[in-house]
């Protein structure tokens, strides 16, 4: 409330009568001003004399009898006091001039982020229902164990064992959801602290730390270069200081097609990036922007926008044509130059008297670059030193380090068609990297490629933060980098190892048949983990702290001791030395040791301390610990020179990691096809925290496989990685005491959930077995069983509704997730368990199929790929379940109708659960049908084979008698 005469304490200055308490104090410091001379004192005395002689009745409202503040201010020329809202014009408050309004204009310290708690109206009933359902489950399982079915003990035993496992799995999945939170970032406060002019930053330069962006690709056939190029353009145009941003493209296939596509993207970025800045374009992926279904002129005010957009659209179309023509151009160029070399070799052989044909055949079929030199990467024709898994390391700076000061365009200069006057035309650094590969080395797939980028970027730019993106995940929100930096630069941000953004997808069918959006995980599970120690790392869209990625422990951490981590203690910082390894305590966790073996690159080792210092929050408040002084990052980056680039090439060699801790303690962790989960787990195990950043506008968007076969193969890879985690040292059962109890439960669930496929498979066949045998899992459908079933179902439904409420997902998305859980659990998860066991027992390595990111080529139907049926062995199990349950329903109904003593309760129970299975497999059925009933013949063959086999089994197990046959006739 502003200081007004009625809310300020009153001190009597004149009369001592009781009525003097009714008068407000003059707006001034009487004692101080009365002691000073000058006109200011006389003005104040005149005002006080007016108050003293004023009749109170004149200042009282006639209707209410209250004191009239407005009239008092007008007649006495009073003020509201001093402050930053209003300041007295005559300076009557501070005669000596020692105070001014500017003294009150310094803005207070502001946090960059805040937590938004989920409403207790939703969260408290959710927690209560979790407890109630646990009690119901325990009571139900006790009743099931105490009431076996003597007529079918094997059926009772299987069903009870499955139900115990389902209850255990549900508890593992639900307990980490007890404390969901939301977060909000203050971008205005970030701009005031790091970009606005201040005493430590008089020029208003950016004091933000640098970010190195990693974009990974491996196969230009499955990951089209045009998709990768659009992702690069969206990153280059993001709203972050140009001189603080460096983009690295990892081409693990070493393909010339990708290299030349990146060169085309670097050329197009010179006009696309300034165009986005000039007109505030969103999104900044040109393909997505030009395919928007909304009016492009909305909120655009510059008169030349339409002209600029029309011209840039034409430039982009030409850019796409050049990218699409690269494969043919490279092939034609290579064929021409190879033919020329063959002619030269034949001519030389003829001059020497040798066989020209043999010399011509000995010429290697090389792949040529545009400058008529051999491409050092992989060739179209496989040759030694130029094949996948056998090629030299390549590093090319395609866009050099930009100037430290803005470079503005001018009228008619720099561009012929677009006016970039007063627009910064700089573009961030762009570097192409393809690590060296040689036979005999384990290159560790994507994790090895990421670690090569970590080392190369430490030499070239050494950004204290690293953002990794898949080639198909482009920047949809140009302020996403800044929003993530709010969490890293806020008070306590030095304890955050990474900021994970949710994955959002485009090109998914409207019904989301196979739960591609995965919103239950990204908006439910991950939001809940944010209330614990932080979300898991999910492979893309993650902003890392480089120091944490190097394997170091946080500057401050806590240990959680006791049965369920109820005792919280400050962790002791330990450092490992090579000479006292034997003195380490036996119960010390190896993840808590300090990494030592970074390799033989001195420049890399020297960059570690620099990155750690630059990644600290701003020390602008006493509560900020481990901060850096303001203005420490205002200097320019050193330009790249030949020795620096040569050092960067040496650290991406295949031998550099020998006898180092890369992949074991440093960088992305090796040993699993889901290296992302393992890498995040190891950071949490050291005591780091992570943050889940959900901007109002999606940060990134990518593509997802909408085809059933591709989707199942994707889930198979994830589940296989989880099985690997369960049988490795990365199992959270072996975690350190720095991992919170519920966070440990969440990681345990990651390793265990594929094993749920075994009881799920049994449970999907149980209804059919009940119908075939005429038995049921319980002796009869009595009241106790039905009451327990009702309680469990009702509490689960209410929990689902509340989870939908606090997570923001829809009921349809929740149901799609449940359906695909059954589809994936009976197919991909089961295959993952088998593969994982084969790797552990027999040592058979697991290979996985790269998910295709190719765009749909059917222009008439954007979802044509949804209806394509690609046969895979993963279809066998769910198809068998479908056929068995359908046949069982008909057999059960027929047996009951023609039975002398029909047992309707067992029929109803079996049919109900069979329909439960079929309802969950409905999307799988639609996927098998294809478009307009174009079902592959193999589906009918397999279904017929299953039906015949089941019929023969029923006849052999329970053959019909003569009486029953005659009776039926």
How does DSSP assign 505-568, residue by residue? Answer: EES--TT-TT--S-HIIIIIIHHHHTTTT-PPP-SSSEEEEHHHHTTPPPSS-EEEESTTS-EE
Contacts of 382 (CB under 8 A, 6+ apart): none
Rounded to whole angstroms, the Cα distance separating 80 from 89 reads 12
445 assigned ligand-binding residue: yes
The answer to the question of whether 300 is labelled as a binding residue is no
Nearest to 937 by CA among 947, 928, 946: 928
**Does 661 count as an annotated binding residue?**
no
3-state DSSP assignment of residue 396: strand
Is 419 tagged catalytic? no
Runs of H (alpha helix) within 808-846: 811-825, 828-842
Kindly state the tokens that stand for 537: 């790392």
Q: How many CB atoms lie within 10 A of CB 35?
A: 9
Q: Hey, what are 962's tokens?
A: 């003569």
Are 819 and 515 in contact, with CB atoms under 8 Å apart?
Answer: yes
Residue with tokens 């310094």: 106
| 317 is known to lie in a ligand binding site | no
Convert 802-840 to b/e letters by CB count within 10 Å (16 or more is b): bbbbbbebeeebbebbebbbbbbbbbbbbbbbebbeebe
Which phi-psi region, left, alpha or beta, contains residue 353 (left: φ > 0; alpha: ψ -120 to 50)? left
The answer to the question of whether 347 is labelled as a binding residue is: no
Write a three-state SS string for 48-95: HHHHHHCCHHHHECCCCCCECHHHHHHHHCCCCCCCCCCCCCCCCCCC
Q: 100 an active-site residue?
A: no
How many C-beta atoms surround the C-beta of residue 19 within 10 A?
8
Q: Which residues contact 425 (CB under 8 A, 6 or more apart)?
A: 270, 273, 274, 407, 408, 409, 414
Residue 498 token pair = 């990474």
Catalytic residue among 523, 591, 593, 676: 676
Half-sphere exposure at residue 325, Cβ-oriented, CA atoms within 13 angstroms: 10
3-class DSSP state for residue 380? coil
Taking CA atoms, 706 is separated from 296, 511, 512, in Å, by 29, 11, 8
Q: Is 352 annotated to bind ligand?
A: no
- CB under 8 A, 24+ apart: contacts of 924-929: 924/708, 924/823, 924/878, 924/882, 925/882, 926/513, 927/513, 927/514, 927/708, 927/869, 928/708, 928/869, 928/875, 928/879
Q: Determine whether the annotation assigns residue 96 to a binding site.
A: no
Q: Please state, in angstroms and rounded to a whole number, the distance separating the CA atoms of residues 44 and 13.
A: 13
207, 212, 252, 424: the active-site residue: 252
Where do we find the tokens 């890293």? 488
Binding-site positions: 216, 222-223, 252, 445-446, 470
Binding-site positions for Mn(2+): 446, 470
By annotation, the residues acting in catalysis are 252, 676
Binding-site positions for UDP-alpha-D-glucose: 216, 222-223, 252, 445
């Amino acid at each position: 409330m502003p200081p007004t005469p009625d809310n300020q304490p009153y001190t009597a200055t004149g009369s001592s009568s009781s009525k003097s308490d009714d008068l407000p104090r003059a707006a001034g410091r009487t004692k101080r001003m009365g002691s000073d001379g000058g006109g200011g004192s006389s003005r104040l005395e005149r005002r006080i004399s007016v108050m003293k002689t004023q009749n109170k009745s004149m200042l009282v409202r006639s209707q209410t009898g209250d004191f009239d503040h407005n009239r008092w201010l007008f007649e006495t020329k009073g003020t509201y006091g001093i402050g930053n809202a209003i300041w007295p014009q005559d300076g009557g408050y501070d005669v000596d001039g020692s105070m001014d309004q500017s003294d009150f204009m310094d803005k207070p310290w502001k946090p960059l982020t805040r937590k938004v708690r989920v409403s207790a109206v939703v969260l408290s009933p959710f927690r209560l229902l979790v407890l109630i359902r646990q009690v119901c489950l325990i009571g139900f399982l006790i009743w099931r164990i105490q009431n076996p079915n003597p007529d079918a003990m094997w059926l009772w035993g299987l069903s009870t064992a499955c139900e115990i496992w389902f209850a255990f799995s549900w508890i593992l999945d639900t307990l980490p959801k007890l404390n969901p939170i939301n977060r909000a970032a203050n971008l205005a406060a970030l701009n005031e602290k790091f970009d606005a002019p201040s005493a430590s930053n008089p020029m208003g330069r950016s004091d933000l730390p640098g970010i190195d962006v990693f974009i990974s690709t491996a196969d230009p056939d499955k990951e089209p270069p045009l998709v990768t190029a659009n992702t690069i353009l969206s990153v280059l145009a993001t709203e972050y200081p140009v001189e603080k941003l460096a983009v690295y493209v990892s081409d693990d296939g070493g393909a010339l097609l990708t290299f030349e596509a990146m060169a085309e993207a670097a050329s197009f970025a010179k006009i696309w990036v300034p165009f986005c800045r000039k007109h505030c374009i969103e999104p900044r992926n040109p393909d997505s922007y030009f395919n928007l279904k909304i009016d492009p002129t909305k909120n655009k005010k510059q008169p030349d926008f339409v002209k600029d957009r029309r011209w840039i659209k034409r430039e982009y179309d030409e850019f796409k044509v050049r990218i699409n023509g690269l494969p043919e151009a490279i092939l034609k160029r290579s064929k021409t130059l190879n033919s020329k070399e063959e002619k030269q070799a034949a001519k030389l052989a003829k001059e020497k008297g040798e066989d020209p044909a043999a010399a011509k055949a000995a010429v290697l079929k090389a792949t040529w670059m545009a400058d008529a030199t051999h491409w050092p990467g992989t060739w179209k024709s496989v040759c030694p030193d130029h094949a996948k898994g056998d090629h030299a390391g390549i590093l090319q700076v395609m866009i050099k380090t930009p100037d430290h000061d803005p470079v503005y365009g001018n009228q008619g200069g720099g561009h012929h068609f677009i006016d970039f006057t007063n627009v910064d035309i700089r573009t961030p650094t762009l570097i192409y990297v393809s690590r060296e590969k040689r036979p005999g080395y384990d290159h560790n797939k994507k994790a090895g490629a990421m670690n090569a980028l970590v080392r190369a970027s430490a030499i070239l730019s050494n950004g204290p933060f690293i953002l990794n993106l898949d080639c198909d995940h482009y920047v949809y929100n140009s302020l996403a980098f800044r929003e993530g930096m709010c969490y890293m630069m806020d008070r306590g941000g030095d304890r955050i190892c990474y900021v994970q953004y949710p994955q959002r997808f485009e090109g998914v069918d409207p019904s989301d048949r196979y739960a591609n959006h995965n919103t239950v995980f990204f908006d439910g599970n991950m939001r809940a983990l944010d209330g614990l120690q932080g979300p898991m790392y999910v492979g893309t869209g993650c902003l890392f702290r480089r120091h944490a990625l190097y394997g170091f422990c946080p500057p401050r951490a806590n240990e959680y001791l006791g049965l369920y981590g109820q005792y919280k203690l400050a962790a002791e910082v330990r450092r490992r030395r090579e000479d006292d390894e034997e003195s380490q305590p036996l119960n010390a966790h190896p993840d808590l040791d300090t990494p030592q073996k970074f390799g033989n690159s001195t420049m890399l080792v020297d960059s570690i301390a620099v990155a750690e210092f630059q990644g600290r929050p701003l020390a602008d408040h006493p509560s900020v610990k481990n901060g850096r002084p303001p203005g420490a990052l205002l200097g320019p980056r050193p330009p790249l020179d030949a020795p620096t680039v040569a050092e960067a090439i040496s650290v991406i060699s295949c031998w550099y990691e020998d006898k180092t801790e890369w992949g074991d303690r440093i960088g992305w962790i090796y040993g699993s096809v889901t290296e992302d989960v393992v890498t995040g787990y190891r950071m949490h195990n050291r005591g780091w925290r992570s943050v889940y950043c959900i901007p109002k506008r999606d940060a990134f968007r990518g593509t997802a496989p909408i085809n059933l076969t591709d989707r199942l193969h994707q889930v198979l890879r994830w589940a296989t990685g989880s099985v690997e985690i369960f049988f490795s040292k990365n199992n959270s059962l072996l975690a350190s005491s720095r991992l919170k109890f519920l966070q440990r439960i969440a990681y345990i669930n990651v390793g265990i959930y594929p094993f749920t496929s075994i009881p799920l498979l049994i449970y999907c066949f149980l209804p059919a077995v009940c119908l075939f045998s005429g038995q049921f899992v319980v002796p009869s459908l009595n009241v106790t069983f039905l009451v327990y079933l009702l309680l469990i179902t009702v509490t689960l439904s209410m929990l689902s509704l509340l989870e939908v409420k606090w997570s923001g997902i829809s009921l349809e998305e929740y149901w799609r997730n449940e359906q695909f859980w059954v589809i994936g659990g009976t197919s991909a998860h089961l295959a993952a368990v088998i593969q994982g066991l084969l790797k552990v027992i027999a040592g058979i390595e697991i290979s996985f199929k790269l998910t295709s990111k190719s765009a749909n080529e059917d222009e008439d139907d954007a979802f044509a790929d949804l209806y394509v049926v690609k046969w895979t062995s993963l279809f066998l199990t769910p198809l068998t379940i479908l056929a068995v349950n359908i046949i069982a329903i008909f057999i059960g109904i027929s047996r009951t109708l023609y039975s002398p003593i029909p047992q309707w309760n067992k029929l109803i129970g079996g049919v109900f659960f069979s329909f439960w299975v079929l309802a969950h497999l409905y999307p799988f059925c639609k996927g098998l049908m294809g478009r307009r009933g174009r079902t592959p013949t193999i589906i009918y063959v397999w279904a017929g084979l299953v039906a015949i086999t089941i019929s023969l089994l029923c006849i052999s197990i329970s053959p019909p008698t003569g009486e029953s046959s005659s009776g039926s006739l």
